[in-house]
Structure 1
Amino acid sequence: MSDQHQPLHSANQRVDIEYRRKKNAEEMRYQITSFSMMLFLTFVAFAAVGLKGMTATFTVPFILLLAVVQVIFQLYYFMHMNKKGHEAPSLFLYSGALVGFVTILTFITIVWW
């Protein structure tokens, strides 16, 4: 039986404590892994800026890509958007991101043409 379908409380309190410890340990592993990846991506971004051979036409999109990856890590692991019950906040968040993206794209298009 998967962990998602287990009841939150059983008749045995020891089972509840062990289940919570297991889930907390798993969650902490995800948090530490995500934090380590974000630190690594930050160091890669600093290295991309610090290297003399990199041009701005490569560095700027590369850093923006790393920023998008870090935002995804932030949303899904630190803000717990990967958990059940966060569908409505996810909808509003992604709708706002879409409106922001379209607005920026609109202004860039107006300025360039």
Structure 2
Amino acid sequence: MEPSLNKQSQVNVKKTRSTSRFLWSFMWMVLFTALSFYLVAYPHFTFTTTFWIILGAAVIQVFLQLYTFMHLDEKGNIMPIIFIVLGLFIGVISVVGIILM
């Protein structure tokens, strides 16, 4: 019994991502990096203000990278999300432990 050659297998084709989404995300990351370099090179603010602006830009970049380039917005990606959250939890505990030593 040979499979019929006339039958075509149905393949679920994922909706292709437009490259503009990746380009916009990459552009925002480059702008946040340029902002950080600018704040360090030309200090207009106090150290504390500069620190919090750079930290905020870094957090935004992390979420952009995870969301866009790690495809965490797609269905069925619960395991990577669980491991990333677990890693963040262990990292925060480690940092707090080192600070309190």
TM range (shorter): 0.7 to 0.9
Cα deviation, residue 105, structure 1: 1.3
Count of aligned pairs:
91
Correspondence list, 1:22-61, <5 A: 23-24=15-16, 26-61=17-52
After superposition, residues 1-113 of structure 1 pair within 5 angstroms as: 8=12, 23-24=15-16, 26-110=17-101
State the 1:30 CA deviation.
1.2
5+ long unaligned stretches in structure 1: 1-6, 10-19
Query: Does the residue aligned with 2:59 lie in a helix, a strand or coil?
Result: helix
Contiguous gaps of at least 5 residues in structure 2: 1-10
CA radius of gyration, larger in: 2
How far off is 1:69 after superposition? 0.8
Q: Label 1:83 to 1:51 Cα distance change in 2 as closer, same or farther (>3 A).
A: same
DSSP-derived class of the 1:46 partner: helix
User: How much has 1:51 moved relative to structure 2?
Assistant: 2.0
Distance 1:52 1:93, change over 3 A: closer
TM-score (norm 2): 0.78
RCO comparison, higher one (Cα < 8 Å, 6+): 2
C-alpha displacement of 1:103 = 1.2
